[in-house]
């Protein structure tokens, strides 16, 4: 076994690999960019080496720098994590040439499966069912257009070298094809350096089901069952679960055996995932193979009692697989939610900022020992009835968090905006759903927008709860998942007021500086004006010796009493109702976490100076830092509402800036290739 490995990645996967290595007694070396000097993955490893500037192409994608760091520190092997160089065959070859073990599949397997087109041709020869489409090398736009017309719309365009939802476009009709192809190729060349695409029939209401496979150097190959990853946005997974709901044993075996056959066909070694797209009737088609560990691997670990990173390390060191197929069985149900810094209400636009506060549900550090199947926690009496034959009575801890950030860390524009992976386990799916809803309700994040509230709506929604799954679930249930904004409840306003008033009432030695509202012959009445993004709230407070009278809007006053206050935690009594919550103040903004909801209220302090003015109107601005990749309008051009004007690339994805209404483009302020900052005006626009 290795004594030291280098982890060629960052964030949560680097921390995840380091945790298993530490448990196995293996020393770790981190690599980091200038932007990640203070990152968590640097702190949790035994050594760390700076490899370049913030941009990934100058640091995490520089294989020569990473190999030099491994040799300089005496590492014997390199774990690539996922993303970056994890599926780069040239990097795997370079590791071998440098005398380093690449903890992943052979370069030949990556090359065979790295091209979606070549992989599908290979699967076709192996009689694996394929979705109708064109997977060839001819890339002429007119030819591809003809193929799409032949296949029949809707058609899915996919970057041949792609992954992670990058370089994918659904084309609804023939007239949209050329614009969609151009956009797909731009994103593909930017993300993968290869603009080759394939075209396939876009299935209606399909499920995305993937099989975890594992092979060693001794010819053994097994599957560790399936994961359902149907819930997606922008072709990227949001929720994953294992096992797949409603999966008959016969189909599970058929898909598993097909996945193993695919792995054997390319001489696979290590952890891999064979992805299938499945119709509602159960028929399934090969999509692609990811020649690496997947982001969602924890749900497989939770139901099988394995540590897949440990398996990777043992297989890379030449050891046989720890288990054979007949020794594996599913155990309970696991769900993973990806917590992102993004704004679901604004098209899932990534959010950039500092994690000013990070509160998480009670969870255990990752401790699953693959060889010993050391499952954490104890099964309750109710759980015992769900145990499958051959499993010990122990069960995984109900909540696990894999994260690469801490409070005070920044989510930058340079890398994926993932904050954490929240994984829960239950004896069955119903229990796992309840635990996930509870865990999401306990998550508290201040400093940037997140998808936590959206995930909670997803988990509690009828479609997901009833396992009515397909890749269009979010769009299909848009109205319930994106309800109209509701005013903050009176309890949240009272918690904000109590936090403000109690802070102002802190004892001081000078009586003239007391702010407890004392008056000689009358009570002190005061208006507290709060607002959020949608509503203004006028609340009124009357000071009394031991409590306050509080009213919101035109409601009758009620007695407001602060029952308990410990740090940011508040317990109040408002009339005959009790309310608990966490109140965090950031300047004049109050973040209230109560009853599983997050309310953000700004106190309009009448004594404060309005130091900012409204931004100049008529200038469409960049939603985040990024690069201009296309300018689709000209100065003086008349455009209709919704017309695409500028396309930016940021956080590895394209964002289209559209006309807010009919008008005229007054000026173009940036050119293709220009880098722009958050909020920068991209063009001047006036109403027609």
Angle between helices 297-304 and 308-316 (to 10 degrees): 100
What is the per-residue burial (b if ≥16 Cβ within 10 Å, else e) of 357-384? bbebbebeebbbbbeebebbeebeeebe
SS3 402: strand
The number of folded domains in the chain is: 5
For 540-579, give the DSSP string. EEEE-SS-EEEEETTSPPEEEEEEEEETTEEEEEETTEEE
For residue 108, being part of any structural domain is answered with no
For residue 122, being part of any structural domain is answered with no
Residues 6+ apart with CB under 8 A from 506: none
Q: Residue 336 in contact with residue 299, Cβ under 8 Å?
A: yes
Residue 218 and residue 197 in one domain? no
Q: Which long-range contacts (CB under 8 A, 24 or more apart) does 525-533 make?
A: 528/497, 528/500, 528/603, 529/603, 529/604, 529/606, 530/488, 530/493, 530/496, 530/590, 530/601, 530/602, 530/603, 530/604, 531/601, 531/602, 531/604, 532/488, 532/599, 532/600, 532/601, 532/602, 533/485, 533/600
What distance in Å separates the CA atoms of residue 518 and residue 500, rounded to the nearest whole number? 17
Please give the helix or strand (H or E) that residue 182 lies within, else none: helix 177-192
Residue 46 and residue 16 in one domain? yes
- Residue 572 Cα distances to 487, 490, 495, 516, angstroms: 20, 12, 7, 18
- What is the predicted pLDDT for the residue at 373? 36
What distance in Å separates the CA atoms of residue 489 and residue 24, rounded to the nearest whole number? 51
What distance in Å separates the CA atoms of residue 418 and residue 113, rounded to the nearest whole number? 26
What is the per-residue burial (b if ≥16 Cβ within 10 Å, else e) of 636-670? eeebeeebebbbbbbbbbbbebebeeebbbeebbb
Domain range for 651 is: 619-687
| Selection from 436, 434, 429 nearest residue 245 by Cα | 429
Partners of 283 in the β-ladder: none
CATH code of 598's domain? 3.30.700.30
CATH code of 258's domain? 3.30.470.20
For strands 155-159 and 577-586, give the pairing.
Answer: unpaired
For residue 504, being part of any structural domain is answered with yes
Which of 201, 223, 244 terminates a domain? The answer is 201
Residues 6+ apart with CB under 8 A from 73: 4, 6, 29, 47, 49
Structure token digits, residue 12: 């949560």
Q: Residue 666 in contact with residue 646, Cβ under 8 Å?
A: no
CATH code of 36's domain? 3.40.50.20
Would residue 292 show up in a list of annotated catalytic residues for this protein?
A: yes
Residue 216 and residue 186 in one domain? no
Which of 159, 176, 201 terminates a domain? The answer is 201
HSE toward the beta carbon, residue 310, CA cutoff 13 A: 22
Verify cis geometry, omega within 30 degrees of 0, for the bond prior to 263: no
> How many other C-beta atoms can be found within 10 angstroms of the C-beta atom of residue 221?
21
What distance in Å separates the CA atoms of residue 524 and residue 514, rounded to the nearest whole number? 13
446-480 pLDDT per residue, tens? 999 999 999 999 999 999 999 999 999 999 999 99
Structure token digits, residue 250: 């016969």
Which of 476, 506, 526 terminates a domain? The answer is 476
Prediction pTM value: 0.81
What distance in Å separates the CA atoms of residue 477 and residue 158, rounded to the nearest whole number? 25
Residue 211 and residue 197 in one domain? no
204-253 pLDDT per residue, tens? 889 999 999 999 999 999 999 999 999 998 888 999 999 999 999 999 99
Per the residue annotation, which of 292, 314, 379, 400 is the catalytic one?
292
Residue 506 and residue 455 in one domain? no
> How many other C-beta atoms can be found within 10 angstroms of the C-beta atom of residue 234?
15
Residue 598 and residue 680 in one domain? no
Residue 182 and residue 35 in one domain? no
For residue 272, being part of any structural domain is answered with yes
- For tokens 């150097």, name the residue: 217
Residue 235 and residue 176 in one domain? no
Verify cis geometry, omega within 30 degrees of 0, for the bond prior to 443: no
> How many other C-beta atoms can be found within 10 angstroms of the C-beta atom of residue 513?
7
pLDDT averaged per 10 residues in sequence order, the chain, 688 residues? 98 97 98 96 98 95 98 98 95 98 96 83 81 89 96 92 82 95 92 90 91 97 98 91 97 95 93 94 90 97 97 98 97 97 90 92 61 34 35 69 95 91 97 97 94 97 97 94 94 96 69 57 85 93 92 91 95 95 92 95 73 48 82 90 85 78 88 82 84
Residue 287 and residue 416 in one domain? yes
What distance in Å separates the CA atoms of residue 140 and residue 21, rounded to the nearest whole number? 48
- For tokens 């969870």, name the residue: 363
For residue 484, being part of any structural domain is answered with no
- What string of H, E and C letters represents the secondary structure of 427-438? CCHHHHHHHHHH
Please give the helix or strand (H or E) that residue 313 lies within, else none: helix 308-316
For 518-533, give the DSSP string. --SSS--EEEEEEE-S
SS3 179: helix
- Residue 262 Cα distances to 257, 276, 677, angstroms: 9, 12, 45
Q: What are phi and psi of 14, to 5 degrees?
A: -65, -40
Residue 452 and residue 527 in one domain? no
485-501 pLDDT per residue, tens? 999 999 999 999 999 99
For residue 260, being part of any structural domain is answered with yes
Q: Residue 345 in contact with residue 671, Cβ under 8 Å?
A: no
Residue 278 and residue 412 in one domain? yes
| Selection from 125, 145, 126, 144 nearest residue 135 by Cα | 144
CATH code of 656's domain? 2.40.50.100
162-211 pLDDT per residue, tens? 776 788 999 999 999 999 999 999 999 888 888 999 999 888 889 999 99
Residues 6+ apart with CB under 8 A from 499: 570, 583, 585, 590
SS3 334: strand
What distance in Å separates the CA atoms of residue 309 and residue 22, rounded to the nearest whole number? 12
**How long, in residues, is the chain?**
688
For strands 77-79 and 4-7, give the pairing.
Answer: parallel
For residue 294, being part of any structural domain is answered with yes
For residue 485, being part of any structural domain is answered with no
Virtual torsion, Cα 429, 435, 441, 445, nearest 10 deg? -100
Q: Report residue 667 CA to chain centroid gap.
A: 37
SS3 650: strand
What distance in Å separates the CA atoms of residue 623 and residue 412, rounded to the nearest whole number? 14
For strands 27-33 and 4-7, give the pairing.
Answer: parallel
Residue 667 and residue 596 in one domain? no
Q: Residue 623 in contact with residue 614, Cβ under 8 Å?
A: no
CATH code of 174's domain? 3.30.1490.20
Q: Residue 210 in contact with residue 273, Cβ under 8 Å?
A: yes
């Amino acid at each position: 076994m290795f004594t030291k490995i280098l982890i060629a990645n960052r964030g949560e996967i680097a921390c995840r690999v380091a945790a298993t290595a530490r448990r196995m007694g293996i020393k770790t070396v981190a690599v980091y960019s200038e932007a990640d000097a203070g990152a968590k993955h640097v702190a949790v490893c035994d050594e760390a080496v700076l490899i370049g500037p913030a941009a990934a192409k100058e640091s995490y994608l520089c294989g020569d720098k990473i190999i030099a760091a491994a040799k300089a520190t005496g590492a014997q092997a390199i774990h690539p994590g996922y993303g970056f160089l994890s599926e780069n065959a040239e990097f795997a070859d370079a590791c071998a040439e440098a005398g380093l073990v690449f903890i992943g599949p052979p370069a030949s397997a990556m090359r065979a499966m790295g091209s979606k087109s070549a992989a599908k041709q290979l699967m076709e020869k192996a009689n694996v069912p394929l979705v109708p489409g064109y997977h060839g090398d001819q890339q002429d736009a007119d030819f591809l257009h003809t193929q799409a017309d032949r296949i029949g719309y809707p058609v899915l365009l996919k970057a041949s070298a792609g992954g992670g939802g990058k370089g994918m476009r659904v084309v609804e009709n023939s007239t949209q094809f050329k614009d969609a192809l151009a956009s797909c190729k731009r994103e593909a060349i930017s993300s993968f350096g290869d603009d080759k695409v394939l075209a396939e029939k876009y299935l209606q209401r399909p499920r995305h089901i993937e099989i975890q496979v594992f092979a060693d150097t001794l010819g053994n190959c097994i599957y560790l069952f399936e994961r359902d990853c149907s819930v997606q946005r922008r072709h990227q997974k949001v929720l994953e679960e294992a096992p797949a709901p409603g999966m008959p044993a016969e189909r599970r075996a058929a898909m598993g055996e097909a996945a193993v056959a695919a792995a054997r066909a390319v001489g696979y070694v290590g952890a891999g995932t064979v992805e299938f797209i499945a119709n509602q009737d159960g028929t399934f088609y090969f999509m692609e193979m990811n020649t690496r560990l997947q982001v969602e691997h924890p749900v497989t670990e939770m139901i099988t009692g394995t540590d897949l990173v440990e398996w990777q390390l043992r297989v890379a060191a030449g050891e046989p697989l720890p288990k054979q197929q007949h020794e594996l069985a599913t155990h309970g149900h696991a769900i993973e939610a990806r917590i992102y810094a993004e704004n679901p209400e604004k098209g899932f636009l990534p959010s950039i900022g500092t994690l000013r506060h990070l509160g998480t549900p009670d969870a255990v550090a990752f401790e699953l020992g693959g060889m010993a199947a050391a499952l954490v926690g104890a099964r309750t009496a109710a759980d015992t009835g769900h145990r499958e034959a051959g499993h010990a009575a122990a069960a995984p801890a109900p909540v696990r968090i894999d994260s690469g950030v801490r409070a005070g860390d920044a989510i930058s524009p340079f890398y994926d905006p993932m904050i954490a992976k929240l994984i829960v386990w239950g004896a069955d799916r119903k229990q796992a759903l309840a635990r996930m809803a509870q865990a999401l309700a306990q998550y508290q994040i201040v400093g940037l927008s997140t998808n936590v509230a959206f995930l909670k709506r997803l988990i509690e929604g009828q479609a997901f709860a009833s396992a009515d799954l397909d890749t269009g679930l979010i769009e299909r249930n848009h109205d319930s998942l994106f309800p109209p904004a509701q005013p903050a409840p009176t309890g949240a306003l009272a918690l904000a007021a109590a936090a403000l008033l109690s802070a102002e009432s802190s004892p001081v030695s000078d009586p003239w500086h007391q702010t407890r509202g004392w008056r000689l012959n009358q009570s002190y009445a005061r208006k507290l004006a709060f607002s959020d993004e949608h509503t203004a709230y006028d609340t009124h407070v009357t000071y009394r010796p031991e409590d306050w009278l509080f009213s919101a809007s035109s409601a009758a006053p009620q007695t407001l009493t602060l029952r308990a206050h410990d740090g940011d935690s508040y317990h109040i009594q408002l009339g005959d109702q009790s309310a608990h919550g966490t109140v965090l103040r950031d300047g004049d903004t109050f973040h209230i976490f109560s009853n599983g909801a997050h309310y953000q209220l700004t106190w309009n302090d009448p004594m404060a100076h309005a130091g900012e003015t409204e931004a100049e109107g008529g200038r469409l601005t960049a939603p985040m830092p990024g690069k201009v990749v296309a300018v689709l309008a000209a100065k003086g051009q008349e455009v209709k509402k919704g017309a695409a004007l500028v396309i930016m690339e940021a956080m590895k994805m394209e964002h289209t800036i559209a006309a807010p209404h009919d008008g005229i483009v007054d000026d173009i302020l940036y050119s293709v290739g220009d880098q722009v900052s958050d909020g920068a005006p991209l063009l001047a626009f006036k109403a027609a």
